[in-house]
A and B are shown apart, each in its own frame.
Chain A
Amino acid sequence: MEQQFESATLGMWVFLLTEIMFFGGMFCAYTVYRSSYPEAFASTSQHMDPLWGAVNTAVLIVSSLSMALAVRAARLGQQKALQILLLVTIFFGLCFLGVKAIEYHQHWVENKVPLIGGHWDYSEEPQFARQAQILFCFYFFMTGFHAIHMVVGVGIMLTIFAMARKGVFSSSYFTPVEISGLYWHFVDIVWIFLFPLLYLIGHTKKIF
C-alpha cells in the first residue's frame, strides 16, 4: 500500500510538472511583452482592481487551508470532518469564480475585451491601443486558463465528496484525497504568481 501511495503521489507530481511548463510558457511570453511595452503595461494595469485580486488571493488561500485540513482528516479517518472540509473547499472555490465573473463583467462593460468585435475600446490612451490589446489578451488567457483549472478542481472535489459520502476512504486508503489536494494547491500557487504580476505591478498609487 505504501508503495502504491508513493507511486500515485509521484505520478501526480509528474502531471503537475507538465502544468508548470504549460503555465510557465505563458508567464515567459508575458514577461517578454511586459518588458517590451512597459508604458502600455502601466496603462492597462490601471484597469485591474488590485483589491478584487487581493480578496481572491485570500479566498484561494482559505480554500487551500480547508483542503489541507481535509487531507489531514482523511488520513486520520475522520469521515464527517473530511466531508465538511471538502464542502468548505468547494464553497471557497466557487467564491473565487464568482469574483472572477464580476471582474470579467466589469471588463466587458468597460469594453476592455480584445478580439471580440464591439467590446474593445481604448480611446482614452489611443497611443497604447494596439499594445494594450496584446496585454489584455495575456490577462484573459492566463486568468481564463486558471479559471478553467478552478472549474475542473471544483468538479474533482465534488467527485471526492461523493466518494467520501459512500465511505470509500479510511485511514488506510486516502490516496485520491491526497492527490486531488496536490492539484488544488498547485492551482492556488499559479494564482499566487498571477496576482502580483497582473494586478499589482505598475499600479503604484502613492497612498503613503
Chain B
Amino acid sequence: MHSIPSVRTYFLIWITLTVMTFVTYLVAQIDLGGWNIVVALLIAFFKMMLVILFFMNAKAESPLTKLFAGAGFFWLILLLGQVLIDYISRTWMPEGKMW
C-alpha cells in the first residue's frame, strides 16, 4: 500500500504555500517591468508542484499514473507553445501587424 505522509509534512507544505501566496502578492506591487509576470508564474508553478507532489501525493502513484499526469502538461505546453510561437513571430515579418 501507499506510504502515508505525516501530518507534519502536510502542515509544512501548507505553510510554504501560504508564505508563497504572500510573497507573490508583495512582489507584484514592485515594478519589475517584464519580470513581474515571470516571477508570478514561477511562484505559481512552484506552488502547483507542491500541491501535486504532496497534497495529491503523486510521488507515491504508480509509474503509469505519473506518465499520464506528465503527458497532460506536455500537451498543455504544446498548445501554449505553438500558439504563442505564431502570435509572437507575426510582428517579426516586414510591415508586421498583430492582426
Chain A contact residues, CB within 8 Å of chain B: 2, 6, 9-10, 13-14, 16-17, 20-21, 24-25, 27-28, 31-32, 35-36, 50-51, 54, 57-58, 61-62, 64-65, 67-69, 71-72, 75-76, 181-182, 185-186, 188-189, 192-193, 195-197, 200-201, 203-208
B80 nearest in chain A by CB position = A28
Chain B contact residues, CB within 8 Å of chain A: 1-2, 4-5, 7, 10-11, 13-14, 17-18, 21-22, 24-25, 28-31, 36-37, 40-41, 43-44, 47-48, 51-52, 54-57, 61-62, 64-65, 68-69, 71-73, 75-76, 79-80, 83-84, 87-88, 98-99
**Majority secondary structure, B binding face:** helix
B52 contact set on A, CB distance < 8 A: 185, 189
Query: In the complex where A13-B69, A27-B80, A57-B21 touch, is A76 in contact with B29 (Cβ < 8 A)?
Result: no
A37 nearest in chain B by CB position = B98
Which of B36, B48, B51 meets A201, CB within 8 Å?
A: B36
**Contact yes or no, B41 A185, CB < 8 A:** no
**Contact yes or no, B31 A206, CB < 8 A:** yes
Q: In the assembly, what is the distance between CA of A12 and CA of B99, in Å?
A: 40
> Least Cβ distance of B43 to chain A in Å?
7
A58 contact set on B, CB distance < 8 A: 18, 21
**Contact yes or no, B79 A64, CB < 8 A:** no
Which of B31, B62, B80 meets A6, CB within 8 Å?
A: B62
Query: In the complex where A28-B83, A65-B14 touch, is A9 in contact with B36 (Cβ < 8 A)?
Result: no
Query: In the complex where A50-B25, A69-B7, A196-B28 touch, is A31 in contact with B80 (Cβ < 8 A)?
Result: yes
Listed A/B pairs (6) with beta-carbon separation below 8 Å: A13-B69, A14-B68, A20-B76, A21-B76, A36-B98, A201-B37
Query: In the complex where A24-B76, A65-B11 touch, is A9 in contact with B44 (Cβ < 8 A)?
Result: no
**Contact yes or no, A207 B29, CB < 8 A:** yes
CB within 8 Å: A-B pair count: 143
Known: A17-B69, A72-B10, A203-B29. 8 other contacts (CB 8 A): A16-B72, A24-B79, A24-B80, A25-B79, A35-B88, A193-B44, A196-B24, A200-B24
> Least Cβ distance of B45 to chain A in Å?
9
Which of A2, A54, A189, A197 meets B51, CB within 8 Å?
A: A189
Q: In the assembly, what is the distance between CA of A193 and CA of B69, in Å?
A: 18
Q: In the assembly, what is the distance between CA of A10 and CA of B62, in Å?
A: 9
**Contact yes or no, A28 B79, CB < 8 A:** yes
> Least Cβ distance of B31 to chain A in Å?
4
**Contact yes or no, A203 B7, CB < 8 A:** no
B76 contact set on A, CB distance < 8 A: 20-21, 24
Q: When A and B form their complex, which 9 residue pairs have the shortest distance between CB atoms, in order from nearest?
A: A200-B28, A196-B40, A17-B72, A65-B14, A68-B55, A204-B31, A54-B25, A20-B72, A24-B76
